[in-house]
């Protein structure tokens, strides 16, 4: 897992043709808006989260975020344990995100 500032996250995301954005917040938090093109899998689903993540392509580079950066860090670590080599955590999460968003 790599911890990235907002600027680093956005810059690397824009220059990565193999990138996938993963939102691990709850459905309620999703209503506040989300980063465009994000896949949503709620980390609070426990085993359900792992089951959904296992369906994802492990060769992709994952840019993961939550509300503040804590759950997404946990998600990155879980993904690493399940064979994902390239996970990037957004420091500060959606709370501090100043980039483009889509209405929830």
Contact 20, 56 (CB under 8 A): yes
Give domain status of residue 14, yes or no: yes
pLDDT at 104: 80
pLDDT tens sequence across 5-50: 999 999 999 999 999 999 999 999 999 999 999 999 999 999 999 9
Model confidence at 84, pLDDT cuts 50, 70, 90, reads very high
DSSP H or E stretch at residue 70: helix 70-81
Q: Considering the domain boundaries, does residue 90 fall inside one?
A: yes
Q: What is the pTM of this model?
A: 0.96
pLDDT category of residue 76 using cuts at 50, 70 and 90: very high
Our answer to whether residue 66 is catalytic in this structure is yes
**CATH label of the domain that carries residue 89:** 3.40.250.10
Q: What is the number of domains present in the chain?
A: 1
Domain range enclosing 85:
2-96
Say which of 1, 22, 38, 66 is annotated catalytic.
66
Residue 59 lies in a domain: yes
């Amino acid at each position: 897992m790599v911890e990235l500032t907002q600027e680093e996250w956005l810059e690397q995301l824009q220059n990565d043709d193999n990138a996938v954005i993963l939102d691990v917040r709850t459905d309620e938090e999703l209503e506040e808006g989300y980063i465009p093109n994000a896949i949503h899998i709620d980390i609070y689903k426990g085993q359900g989260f792992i089951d959904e993540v296992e369906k994802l392509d492990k060769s992709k580079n994952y840019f993961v975020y939550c509300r503040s950066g804590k759950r997404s860090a946990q998600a990155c670590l879980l993904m690493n344990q399940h064979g994902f080599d390239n996970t990037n955590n957004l420091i500060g999460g959606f709370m501090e995100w100043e980039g483009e968003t889509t209405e929830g």
